[in-house]
Structure 1
Amino acid sequence: MKIGLRILLGYVLIVGLAAWFLLNIFVDEVKPGVRASQEDTLVDTANLLAEMAAPDVKSGALTAIAPPMRDYARRSVSARIGGITKRHLDYRVYIVDAGGIVLFDTAGTDVGKDYSRWNDVYLTLRGKYGARSTRSDPDDENSTVMYVAAPILDPADRSRIIGVLTVAKPNASAQGFIERGQRVILRWGALLLGLSLLVGMAFAWWLARALRRLMDYVADVEAGRKAVLPDFGNNEIATLARALEAMRTRLEGKEYAERLMHTLTHELKSPIAAIQASAELLQEDMPEAERRRFLGNILEQNTRQKRLIDKLLALVRVEQQQRLEQAAPVDVHALCAVVAGDFSGALAERGQVLDMGEGGTPLHVQGDELLLRQAVGNLLDNAIGFAPPGSVIRIAACRRDGFAVVAICDSGPGIPAYAQERLFERFYSLPRPDGAKSTGLGLPFVREVAALHGGTVTVANAAQGGCCAELALPLPLTL
């Protein structure tokens, strides 16, 4: 499983569990919270009414308190509260004497009954807080009614309880507010959860994208491909990427220098030995013709060394270059014409003819014209060296699958099977038909230039004989 998906799943799990836990707590707390608030109101109301009822209970005639309470029970109301319309009053009030016998009931049903065993009355008569919650329908859990009692104190001796006043209110009257509160919490909770998940997804996508770009860069470095450090901005990943780039530069620089010195030393041994041997022989007396031959050998080997060093330096520069510094439009057909002009002397010397074909549709690529000129020149130089004198060499540029392809084909002996896998090795070269041997740096240089431009180079035997080299360069995207 990819790290971005792991991070996202972990985030979703943590946020989901936290949201579920918190939402459940909030939703579960709405109901007891509303009922606690309702009970608090009932306590205040019961104590207020108990004070108002005390004189009547003391006198034994409820002439002052009973009529208003009966009128209250018959009132109608229409009020909009928190989005819920209230159309009837829900309080039920009853008064009992010191023995628990009902003296008054707004419902008009239980006057004369003994309520002394009900918790609200029983506890209040003993000086405790009396309250109970009882179902009006034993089979319906939503039919509970909350009863809160207050002691009726003797006006002459407030330490003596002469009765109890209870205020009752159905819990169902608050159900609408409870459900509304729960809906609001769930709705906002779902919205916040959704936003949290979106933020988590965005963060996981950003982190996974940054890590994927870093891993692609590391994979390119590990495979030895051209790799440019992506821009990660200014964060911890960017710091890590820069540290990897610095480490890579140091390690590759050291390894490259060691490898370069080893190969250069190896390749220079032969011309240096030839020069040394010729110089030692020149110290002896010899015929003038022999002297001239040895002097010519020294000059030839010195030229070989210079050519080897120049080409190696050019290859080093392009190998160490990770990207094109200044890419500009390059006309591929014009480039081929310029390269043909560069090698007109070599072609004439061998009596060879360069067939440019037809110009075709214009082809333009983004790149470094000088590097591309050297690359195409190396391919043409190989073709001239391996093609028979007086033969025709074909060079053409065409569009193929989003690439501009420069193809150079000759009618030479082709590539032996044993050499096909080693053509792009540094310093590896095949002897040319005239016995000459190249530096073995031309094709590695072309491959590096192609990689810098995002392209490829292939060299293979042609079906009709000879060899065909193709340099493919990506064409710019067109809208």
Structure 2
Amino acid sequence: MKIGLRILLGYFLIVGLAAWFLLNVFVQQVKPGVRGALEDTLVDTAQVLAAAVAADMQAGRLQDSPLLESLRGSLAKGLDMKISGVPKDRLHYRIYLTDAAGIVRFDSSGRDVGQDYSRWNDVYLTLRGRYGARSTREYAEDDASTVMYVAAPVRADGRIIGVLTVAKPIASVQAFIERSQRRILSQGALLLGVSLLIGIAVTFWLARALHRLMDYVAAVQAGRKAVLPALGKTEIGTLGAALEAMRVKLEGKEYVETLMHTLAHELKSPIAAIQAAAELMQEDMPEQERRHFLANIQSQNARQRQLIDRLLALVRLEKQQRLDAPETVDLAQLLRQAASDCSASLAARGLVLQVQPADGGGTDDAALRVQGDALLLRQALGNLLDNAIGFAPAGSRITLAARRQGDQAEIAVTDGGPGIPAYAAERLFERFYSLPRPDGAKSTGLGLPFVREVASLHGGSVDVGNADQGGCRAVLRLPLPLRL
């Protein structure tokens, strides 16, 4: 499972559990909260009414009490109103009065007058000076039929002479409970959805940064040119900077060790040749032989200088991770410049260079343009042409051609030489590796590695192999800009 998905699932699990816990608590607390508010209202109502009927009850005028008659009429009256969107068609109160013995003397419903309520908690507890209340189901199996009863003592001359109870069915406030629960659930679902979107956004950002860092690490591990991506001033950015610094130090140390070893190995031959010639020149010898050994010393010294110069150029290129200021390069013009650079070498070997397209060639090919460094591309083509000139038979033809191939431009250098032997095919791009040329000359073995680095910097590639018609064919591929 990818780390981004794991982070998202972990985040969603935490948020989901927290949301479930909070929503569950809120929903479960709505009903007790509403019941508590209802009970508080019933307490106030019972206390007020108990005080209002105390005088009539003491005087024995309950049957003729204007207050009780008014209560009976009000409770029987219909209503037409809405409370917070919930319709209300009548009063849901039931009020009854019991005497000091617990016998019902007044009942707004008119059904239980004369009944003994002395054992009901609301009456029993209140007659004993305690808070009396109860919740009783009218139907034992139906919790929705629960009715809340709250009592208040009726006092006269400091003693309790009766109990007034106000009752209200829980079902009358059930609509408010359900509405509150629905609102909590809908708002909770909205909150959970927003939290999920935030989690997805954060996870995407984090996973994207990690993915870019992993791509960079994979490129470094594979030995490709890689530039540390912009990761911001975050912990991931700090980690990336640390990895980049560590890579530079480790690669620098390993690179220097390898470079010094190979350079020392390659310089042994010219140094030994120079030393041998110098020792021989210390002896008496004919002038012609002396000139021969002196020319050999100069040749070997030039070889050392060329080797060091090309190696330094390759080192700079290998350490370069990207092009600093890419520009538009016209490939037709680049081919003409490369051909001009090697004109003297071509003439010395009696070779003919055919440039395709030449001036006046195909319109599409002549308009090929890439983004890159013109000087580096020119040097890379010079190296490919130098190899072709070194191996092409005297008087033969070398072809330099450019064409569009899909979303890439291909620049091909083809010669009529002996081609590449099978044993050398896998080693062509090794540093300092070179094949003996027909004239016995030996190159530095740094030309093709240089071309490969140039191609890599431009996001392209280079291949060298045997041509179908014989000889060698080197192809430099460069990406073309997107056409809008």
Match of residue 68 from structure 1: 70
Cα deviation for residue 140 of structure 1 reads 2.2
Cα deviation for residue 207 of structure 1 reads 0.7
Q: Does 1:371 align with 2:376?
A: yes
Cα deviation for residue 137 of structure 1 reads 2.5
Q: Does 1:420 align with 2:425?
A: yes
The aligned amino acid for 2:172 is S
Match of residue 241 from structure 2: 242
Match of residue 221 from structure 1: 220
**Which 10-residue stretch deviates more, 320-329 or 256-265?**
256-265
For 2:88 and 2:235, locate their aligned partners in 1 and report how far apart those are by CA, in whole Å.
Answer: 60
Aligned-pair identity in percent equals: 68
Match of residue 404 from structure 1: 409
Q: For each residue in 1:207-228, what CA deviation from the matched residue of structure 2 results, as whole angstroms up to 9, or x when unmatched?
A: 1111111111111111111011
Match of residue 111 from structure 1: 113
Contact 2:356 2:400 in 1 (8 A): yes
For 1:444 and 1:44, locate their aligned partners in 2 and report how far apart those are by CA, in whole Å.
Answer: 96
For 1:467 and 1:142, locate their aligned partners in 2 and report how far apart those are by CA, in whole Å.
Answer: 95
Q: For each residue in 1:336-388, what CA deviation from the matched residue of structure 2 results, as whole angstroms up to 9, or x when unmatched?
A: 11101111111111111112123331111110000000011111111111111
Q: For each residue in 1:1-45, what CA deviation from the matched residue of structure 2 results, as whole angstroms up to 9, or x when unmatched?
A: 221111111101100011011100001111110111000000110
Q: For each residue in 1:427-477, what CA deviation from the matched residue of structure 2 results, as whole angstroms up to 9, or x when unmatched?
A: 001111121111000000000000000000011112221111110011112
Match of residue 445 from structure 2: 440
The aligned amino acid for 1:90 is H
For 1:200 and 1:73, locate their aligned partners in 2 and report how far apart those are by CA, in whole Å.
Answer: 55
For 1:127 and 1:434, locate their aligned partners in 2 and report how far apart those are by CA, in whole Å.
Answer: 127
**How big is the alpha-carbon RMSD for the aligned residues of Structure 1 and Structure 2?**
1.1
Cα deviation for residue 290 of structure 1 reads 0.7
Q: For each residue in 1:174-213, what CA deviation from the matched residue of structure 2 results, as whole angstroms up to 9, or x when unmatched?
A: 1111111111111111111111111111111111111111
Match of residue 458 from structure 1: 463
The aligned amino acid for 1:127 is G
Match of residue 12 from structure 1: 12
**Which 10-residue stretch deviates more, 136-145 or 426-435?**
136-145
For 2:342 and 2:147, locate their aligned partners in 1 and report how far apart those are by CA, in whole Å.
Answer: 107
The aligned amino acid for 1:22 is L
Listed as ranges, the gaps of 5+ residues in structure 1 are none
For 1:442 and 1:206, locate their aligned partners in 2 and report how far apart those are by CA, in whole Å.
Answer: 43
Equivalent runs, 1:156-305 vs 2, <5 Å: 156=157, 158=158, 160-305=159-304
The aligned amino acid for 2:430 is E
The aligned amino acid for 1:3 is I
Select the residue among 391, 398, 410 that pairs with 1:393.
Answer: 398
For 1:235 and 1:73, locate their aligned partners in 2 and report how far apart those are by CA, in whole Å.
Answer: 70
TM-score by length of 1: 0.98
Contact 2:149 2:167 in 1 (8 A): yes
Q: For each residue in 1:101-149, what CA deviation from the matched residue of structure 2 results, as whole angstroms up to 9, or x when unmatched?
A: 1111111111111111111111111222111111223332211111111
The aligned amino acid for 2:332 is H
Cα deviation for residue 66 of structure 1 reads 1.7
Cα deviation for residue 238 of structure 1 reads 1.2
Equivalent residue of 1:407, what SS? strand
The aligned amino acid for 1:249 is V
For 2:391 and 2:122, locate their aligned partners in 1 and report how far apart those are by CA, in whole Å.
Answer: 115
Contact 2:75 2:90 in 1 (8 A): no
Q: For each residue in 1:384-418, what CA deviation from the matched residue of structure 2 results, as whole angstroms up to 9, or x when unmatched?
A: 11111111111111111211110111121111111
Match of residue 449 from structure 1: 454
Contact 2:46 2:164 in 1 (8 A): yes
Cα deviation for residue 78 of structure 1 reads 2.5
Equivalent residue of 2:356, what SS? coil
Match of residue 474 from structure 1: 479
Equivalent runs, 1:121-140 vs 2, <5 Å: 121-140=123-142
Contact 2:97 2:163 in 1 (8 A): yes
For 2:348 and 2:89, locate their aligned partners in 1 and report how far apart those are by CA, in whole Å.
Answer: 114
Q: For each residue in 1:76-97, what CA deviation from the matched residue of structure 2 results, as whole angstroms up to 9, or x when unmatched?
A: 2233222212221111101111
For 1:178 and 1:477, locate their aligned partners in 2 and report how far apart those are by CA, in whole Å.
Answer: 63
Q: For each residue in 1:274-314, what CA deviation from the matched residue of structure 2 results, as whole angstroms up to 9, or x when unmatched?
A: 00110111111001111011001001101111111111011
Select the residue among 151, 154, 163 that pairs with 2:153.
Answer: 151
Equivalent residue of 2:82, what SS? strand
TM-score by length of 2: 0.97
For 1:333 and 1:169, locate their aligned partners in 2 and report how far apart those are by CA, in whole Å.
Answer: 97
Q: For each residue in 1:226-267, what CA deviation from the matched residue of structure 2 results, as whole angstroms up to 9, or x when unmatched?
A: 011111121111111111111211221222122111111111
Equivalent residue of 1:468, what SS? strand
Equivalent residue of 1:243, what SS? helix
Cα deviation for residue 478 of structure 1 reads 2.4
Equivalent runs, 1:303-318 vs 2, <5 Å: 303-318=302-317
Select the residue among 75, 80, 83 that pairs with 1:81.
Answer: 83
Equivalent residue of 1:186, what SS? helix
Equivalent residue of 1:251, what SS? helix
The aligned amino acid for 1:186 is L
Detail structure 1 runs of 4+ shifted over 6 Å in the superposition. none
For 2:118 and 2:421, locate their aligned partners in 1 and report how far apart those are by CA, in whole Å.
Answer: 117
Equivalent residue of 1:356, what SS? strand
**Which 10-residue stretch deviates more, 92-101 or 66-75?**
66-75
Equivalent runs, 1:331-370 vs 2, <5 Å: 331-358=330-357, 359-360=361-362, 361=364, 362-370=367-375
Match of residue 100 from structure 1: 102
For 1:74 and 1:272, locate their aligned partners in 2 and report how far apart those are by CA, in whole Å.
Answer: 124
Contact 2:330 2:368 in 1 (8 A): yes
Q: Does 1:43 align with 2:43?
A: yes
Q: In the comparison of the two structures, how many residue pairs are matched?
A: 476
For 2:35 and 2:397, locate their aligned partners in 1 and report how far apart those are by CA, in whole Å.
Answer: 102
Cα deviation for residue 273 of structure 1 reads 0.8
The aligned amino acid for 2:73 is D
Listed as ranges, the gaps of 5+ residues in structure 2 are none
**Which 10-residue stretch deviates more, 427-436 or 55-64?**
55-64
**Which 10-residue stretch deviates more, 81-90 or 367-376?**
81-90
